[in-house]
């Protein structure tokens, strides 16, 4: 069974502050993929990043960075110098691959981020 | 390069009616997935399909729900005799063939179903 836990239900920050969204996962698969998606108020889901279980390198994309630590089963997401447009619900997700089951993605319950001007 | 298309975007049905949700995957994508998002919750996997085949329907309710992905045309999620508890956002996603090495699912804008 797979599980993704996003313990932070809602976070509010003031514009230009840095914010980290936590994600902890559970899986028995040795091969798996981790994802982050953004859901702005308009409701669509926007893909942000995919990380496979063999690649623990941290990644930076503009103001976004991701910290993958296999030892603690965490895949945290940091937004630097937050902006109002970052206000959204952010979902962490996992798909496992040992049984060829990459396709079924398990989502966390999401963290609602509000950036206050 | 169009993304995943879903229609309608909003659907209102009375209790007992049928709801039909359509999804056209991205060009070149042969895998389709349906997810349901209840208010204030995350997305829950329902079903995974390839053309003319249901691969994994472990998340589908046993009754009233069905899905298909015919050889031609969009994938359809059908809910018969809708009840108030079916009110949710239904998202479709698509991904390229497995041999492409990409396991990213790209999501459509969703269909918001309201049952009155």
Tally A–B CB contacts below 8 A. 57
* CA dist B74 → A74, A82, A103, B57, B67 (Å): 37, 39, 19, 18, 11
Cα separation, A11 vs A76, whole angstroms: 14
The answer, yes or no, to whether residue B1 has pLDDT greater than 60, is: no
As a whole number, mean pLDDT of residues A50-66 equals 88
Most confident range (mean pLDDT) of A43-47, A89-93, B26-30 is A89-93
Between A91, A104, A110, which is nearest B56 by CB? Answer: A104
Between B42, B45, B91, which is nearest A104 by CB? Answer: B45
Cβ count within 10 A of residue A62: 8
Measured in angstroms, the CA of B77 and the nearest CA of chain A are apart by: 17
Cβ count within 10 A of residue B55: 15
CB contact under 8 A, A33 and B103: yes
Between A35, A45, A95, which is nearest B91 by CB? Answer: A45
pLDDT number for residue A40 = 93
CA A116 to chain centre: 21
pLDDT number for residue A59 = 84
Where does the pLDDT of residue A62 fall: very low under 50, low under 70, confident under 90, or very high at 90 and above? very high
As a whole number, mean pLDDT of residues B36-47 equals 89
The answer, yes or no, to whether residue B94 has pLDDT greater than 90, is: yes
The answer to whether A105 and A95 have CB atoms below 8 angstroms apart is yes
Contacts of B61-69 spanning 24+ positions with Cβ under 8 A: B67/B34, B69/B32
The answer, yes or no, to whether residue A101 has pLDDT greater than 70, is: no
């Amino acid at each position: 069974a797979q599980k993704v836990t996003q313990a932070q239900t809602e976070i509010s920050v003031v514009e230009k502050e840095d914010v980290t969204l936590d994600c902890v996962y559970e899986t028995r698969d040795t091969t798996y993929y981790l994802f982050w998606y953004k859901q702005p108020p308009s409701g669509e889901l926007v893909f942000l990043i995919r990380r496979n279980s063999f690649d623990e390198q941290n990644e930076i994309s503009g103001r976004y960075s991701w910290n993958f630590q296999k030892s603690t089963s965490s895949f945290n997401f940091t937004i630097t110098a937050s902006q109002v447009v970052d206000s959204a619900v952010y979902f962490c997700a996992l798909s496992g691959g040992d049984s060829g089951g990459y396709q079924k993605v398990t989502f966390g319950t999401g963290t609602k981020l509000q950036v206050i001007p | 390069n169009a993304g995943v298309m879903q229609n309608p975007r909003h659907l209102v049905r009375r209790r007992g009616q049928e709801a039909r949700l359509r999804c056209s995957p991205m060009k070149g994508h042969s895998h389709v997935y349906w997810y349901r998002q209840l208010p204030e919750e995350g997305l829950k996997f329902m079903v995974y399909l390839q053309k003319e085949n249901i691969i994994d329907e472990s998340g589908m309710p046993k009754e009233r729900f069905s899905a298909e992905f015919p050889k031609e045309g969009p994938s359809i999620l059908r809910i018969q005799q809708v009840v108030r508890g079916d009110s949710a956002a239904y998202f479709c996603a698509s991904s390229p063939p497995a041999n492409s090495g990409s396991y990213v699912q790209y999501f459509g804008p969703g269909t918001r179903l309201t049952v009155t």
